Amino acid sequence: MKDDNKEKTGDEVVQLRRSIGLLPAVCFIIGTVVGSGIFVAPKGVLMNSGSVGLSLLVWALCGVLSMFGALCYAELGTSFSKSGGHYTYLLETLGPLPAFVRLWVEFVFIRPSVASYVALAFGRYVVEPFYAPCAPPTIIVQLVSVLGVTFVVAVNCFSVNLASRTQVALTFIKMGALILIIIPGVIALANGKTQNFQNGFEVHALTLEKLPLAFYNGLYAYGGWFYLNYVTEEIINPNRNIPLAVIFSMVTVTVFYVLVNVAYYTMMTPAELLLSDAVAVTFANRALQGLSSTIPALVALSCLGALNGGFFGVPRMLFVGAREGHWPAIFSMIHIRRRTPLPAVLFLYPLTVLMCMSGEIYSLINFASFSRWLFIAMATLGMLIHRYRFPLHPRPFKVPLAIAVVFTVVCFFIVGLSLYSDPWNTGWSCFLTLTGIPVYYLTVHRYRLPRGWRRVFNYCSKQLQILLEVAQQEVQTY
């Protein structure tokens, strides 16, 4: 019996393994952050900020704010060793209700919205070169987007190592794409092409209510700095690698993003940038005429990397939520040979495909951002409360108090003001968030589903477990 147990702790044990080192962790953050945002969001930032100088300031401040948030999450990730990101931190600091509501909104609309936006950007950049100068048929863009989602889901179902290596490769490709944009912009700037920066802070149409929308667009492009916290249990030496990966990644991304926007403005006037639906392609047609056809392919691969990072990280939140009893148990199971959280990954697939086929992408940023930033602010508020209540709790990495307070206050301010800026999208987002409260009391706090429904559900779960060849973890990984 003893020998059997010893043998069981080897490669045959069903568990998520610690296989993510420092380089994959850095690539995971950069590869998830740098997606479609830097190629799509500049238009939204400029439109809502009102001037070139202010838009560059917004990009820099969004980078600083994202760095502050990433440092707060580095403390949370080293203080609580569980995977699951936002969900886990809300559960540990503020209790089960906000944690469940965060889980609910993530899978009802935040993740499908964000994933479909990135997927549709991928589809558009793949298809556009074949139809230029005409607009590509919407159905073709949607079908290519679904193919991209299908590829990423298949990779993440097949192997954790394959998904990790794919992320590393795509990260190097997308950083190459950014360098390809930055170099001609810097050269043009050095040659005196500065006319678009003259009177850069002359604001034509700035109003206070539009400023949060400028930050939402900028912060959307930086979104992903928290994804490493979804996979804490799979990181080698997390107390060292999480803070190092966060700091290196966010400094790199912020510098690159500001330089890319400077490059855009060397080649395009503000009016021309606002008229462009594909800023990187417009830039390439002017600055990289010999390589202009390469840029859409590189942008498409960049979007694919962001999509892969999302499908790698977010299912771990669902996995942990199911393990804690806040979601059906089938989603806390792992494929017995592949060692991947197969049910959690597959659960996202139909919702994302459905939203891709709807074709609506431009209102999704504000729609998804309200709830996402509300719960990020609540998580860092919970961190401050936890510090006060449990001062002796081990914290291998501790962010300065001023940074945590500034980040939390700014997040709540942006979220509150956005209800005034875009009441329709943020109002719907707020309403859908609140629907998680009655769902919690009906399904988690007191399980009130009829007995017949429960029997059917349990039978279906058992058959699904057999079909997918999945089982619960056999060892504790936190």
Q: Which CATH class is domain 17-472?
A: mainly alpha
Question: Is residue 59 within 8 Å of 38, Cβ to Cβ?
Answer: no
State the average pLDDT for the chain.
83
Q: Tokens 């700035």 label which residue?
A: 206
For residue 228, give the nearest of 241, 212, 215, 218 by alpha carbon: 241
How does DSSP classify residue 335? E
Using an 8 Å Cβ cutoff, are 154 and 311 in contact? no
Q: How far apart are alpha carbons 320 and 295 in whole angstroms?
A: 39
Give the pLDDT score at 115.
Answer: 87
Q: Does position 41 have pLDDT exceeding 70, yes or no?
A: yes
Q: What is the DSSP string of 440-477?
A: HIIIIIS--S-HHHHHHHHHHHHHHHHHHTEEE-SS--
d(CA 9, CA 30) in angstroms, rounded, equals 34
Distance in angstroms (rounded) separating the CA atoms of residues 277 and 395: 45
Q: Roughly what angle, to the nearest 10 degrees, separates helices 37-49 and 294-323? A: 90
Is the pLDDT assigned to residue 10 strictly greater than 70? no
Residue 418 pLDDT > 90, yes or no? no
How far apart CA 358 and CA 145 sit, in angstroms, is 12
Say what the pLDDT of residue 207 is.
56
Which region among 29-43, 305-319, 327-341, 350-364 has the lowest average model confidence (pLDDT)?
350-364
Is it true that the peptide bond before 394 is cis, omega within 30 degrees of 0? no
Instruction: State yes or no: pLDDT of 417 exceeds 90.
Output: no
List pLDDT tens digits, range 98-109: 999 999 988 887
Q: Which long-range contacts (CB under 8 A, 24 or more apart) does 432-435 make?
A: 432/105, 432/108, 432/109, 432/371, 433/101, 433/104, 433/105, 433/370, 433/371, 433/374, 435/104, 435/108
**Phi-psi map region of 192: left, alpha, beta (phi>0 left; psi -120 to 50 alpha):** left
- Which pLDDT value is given to residue 4? 45
Instruction: Answer yes or no: are the C-beta atoms of 274 and 47 closer than 8 Å.
Output: yes
Residues 6+ apart with CB under 8 A from 260: 38, 178, 181, 182, 185
pLDDT at 5 (0 to 100): 43
Span between the terminal Cα atoms of the chain, in Å: 26
pLDDT at 88: 93
Whole-number percent of the chain with pLDDT over 70: 90
Q: What is the pLDDT of residue 14?
A: 65
pLDDT one-digit tens code per residue, 113-130: 888 888 888 888 888 778
Q: Sketch the domain layout of the chain as residue ranges.
A: 17-472
Residue 414: Cβ-neighbour burial (10 angstroms; 0-12, 13-18, 19+): buried
Please tell me the pTM assigned to this model: 0.85
**For range 295-317, the mean pLDDT:** 87
Which segment of 49-58, 249-258, 374-383 scores lowest on mean pLDDT?
49-58
Q: What pLDDT was estimated at residue 79?
A: 93
- The CA distance from 119 to 105, in Å, is 20
